[in-house]
Amino acid sequence: MYGNVNVGQYVAIVAGSVVICAANLTIGYNSTINTISLAGPPPPQTSGTPVGTEGAGGGHGGRGASCLKNNKTSFWGGDVYAWSTLSEPWSYGSKGGSKNDTVSNGHWFGGNGGGRVKLIVKDILYLNGSVTAEGGNGGIKGGGGSGGSIYVRAVKL
C-alpha cells in the first residue's frame, strides 16, 4: 500500500506477516494488527524450538525459558536467533517445546510462535488500536511460543 492509509474503527487485520508502507497511516479506535500465534518457519540456521521432553519455551532474541523446577542446566528452552536483525527485526517467533517432543495423535503441545509486522510510514503514524506479535500459550503439556517481530519506522507517532 502507499499514499494515506486509514484502517477504520473495530477492524482486525489477522495474518502471519503484515507489511504496510504509507505516507501516513491511521489505525482507528479499537482496531488491531494481530499476528498472535501465526508464525511461519524460523530462520534456516535454527528451529528456535526446544529439544527434549520438558516442554520449555521457544527461543528468539533470547533463550526460551526452562520448565524444570530444579537447576538442571542441560534442559534449556529454544535457542537464540535473530541477533543479526535486531535493528530491523523480521523473524517469526518459534514454537514452544512439547512434553512428548513429538507430535502425539496429530497434536504438538507447545504454543506456536508469533508473526511479524512491519509498518513503514513516511510521516505520521496515528495508532489508536493495537499491534501484536505474541507467541501462543503452551498449556500444561507444552511451553509457550516466543513472540515474533514488530518493526515500526515513522517520523511522528
Q: How far apart are CA 130 and CA 35, in angstroms?
A: 11
Supply the pTM of this predicted model: 0.85
Q: Looking at residue 138, what is its pLDDT?
A: 83
Q: Looking at residue 95, what is its pLDDT?
A: 83
Q: Looking at residue 13, what is its pLDDT?
A: 97
Which helix (H) or strand (E) segment holds residue 111: the answer is: none
The domain locations on the chain are 1-157
Q: What is the pLDDT along the chain (157 residues), one digit of tens a residue?
A: 668 999 999 999 999 999 999 999 999 999 999 999 999 887 777 767 776 667 677 777 777 777 666 655 566 677 777 666 678 888 888 888 777 655 556 666 788 889 999 999 999 999 999 999 999 988 777 888 888 999 999 999 9
How, if at all, do strands 12-14 and 17-22 pair?
Answer: unpaired
Closest by CA position to 133, among listed 144, 117, 145, 120: 117
Q: How far apart are CA 3 and CA 72, in angstroms?
A: 54
